[in-house]
Structure 1
Amino acid sequence: MLEWLVINSWVLWLALFLVLAIVEMMTLDLFFIMMSFGALIALFTALLAWPFWIQVVVFCVVALLMVLVVRPVGLRHLRRGPRDRATNVDRLIGESAMALEPVTDHSGMVKIGGDTWTARSSDGSAIPAGARVAVARIEGATAVVYPAAEPGPYPAQ
């Protein structure tokens, strides 16, 4: 079996390419696609009938170069953009909210947009229920807020 795999190594590289591409589709972190590219180049070396050990070296070198050189550039381009393209909790930073119950440095509840969040005060001060606050940052599932001077959107601190 092992001898057949070495002789028909293109099957191994094709399978590895497909598996790594599928894993990348599930994770979306630009790591496995870089390794997948290494498997694709190794597939071409197998089709050129290069020795198996050279195919493995080509795979390792190409995958390593892709991860170290291309991935950081790709991540930088994906994360670049204006504030209106912020996603997930990053979009909440600086948003206006209302305290649903008193917010202290240990507990509280606020309503941000249409969602209710556990909250705590960023400076340790007590914020009364019904007061306007702004989101300083998000820590896990807790919004860290500070008192807002007036209703409306607030810049991030």
Structure 2
Amino acid sequence: MILGLEPWVFWLILMAVLLLIEVLTVNLVSIWFAGGALAAMIASFLGASVLLQIIIAVAISGVLLAAVLIFKPFDSAKNAQPPRTNSDRVIGEVGIVLERIDDVEGKGLVKVMGQTWSAVSQDGTAIEKNAEVRICAISGVKLVVERI
């Protein structure tokens, strides 16, 4: 008896609770423990002692957890960089200065990827019209650029 219940009933309830927790969370939280509870329930049906059932539950849970930790780095979909879909896609691109960039006067336009942006120089120096620049960052609605 475990907590006044037949061992297989205890493991069944524990497994159900752990699976419910797993369903209610967005990450893998308790699935390996549910697997251990399932293995212990099977051991209970086969007549194993309660101590052996506990050892099996802990061992199987540990093996399942270790397997996830070992193979998780190979999950390329999780480790891949998300596609750049918004304004951040211009960072690192090369643009052409359409209007002289002068941080003191607050002027400057750059064309990059077919779009015209207000721009400031990364180091504060003026950059002449038609110069090629690399986009370093976005600050508010302005590109921060450096001369190439």
TM-score (norm 1): 0.50
> How far apart, in 2, do the equivalents of 1:40 and 1:93 lie?
49
Counterpart code for 1:29: N
**Number of residue pairs the alignment of both structures matches:** 103
Output aligned runs, 1:41-60, within 5 Å: 41-60=39-58
C-alpha offsets along residues 31-74 of structure 1, whole Å, 9 cap, x if unaligned? 30111111111111011110000000000111112112224424
CA 1:81–1:63: 2 relative to 1, 3 Å: same
CA 1:2–1:33: 2 relative to 1, 3 Å: closer
CA contact (8 A) 1:24 1:32 kept: yes
- Cross-structure match for 1:79: 78
- Cross-structure match for 2:88: 94
CA 1:76–1:16: 2 relative to 1, 3 Å: farther
> How far apart, in 1, do the equivalents of 2:33 and 2:49 lie?
20
CA 1:70–1:49: 2 relative to 1, 3 Å: same
Q: Between 50-59 and 25-34, report the one with greater CA deviation.
A: 25-34
Answering whether residue 24 of structure 2 is matched by residue 26 of structure 1, we say yes
- Cross-structure match for 1:36: 34
TM-score (norm 2): 0.52
Counterpart code for 1:38: G
> Gaps (5+ residues) in structure 2?
91-121, 125-134
C-alpha offsets along residues 4-44 of structure 1, whole Å, 9 cap, x if unaligned? 52xx2111111111110110111232130111111111111
Considering fraction of residues, name the structure with more helix: 1
Q: What SS does the aligned partner of 2:47 have?
A: coil
CA contact (8 A) 2:39 2:57 kept: yes
C-alpha offsets along residues 71-98 of structure 1, whole Å, 9 cap, x if unaligned? 44247526144633x9xxxx779356xx
Quick one: percent identity of the two aligned structures?
20
Considering fraction of residues, name the structure with more strand: 2
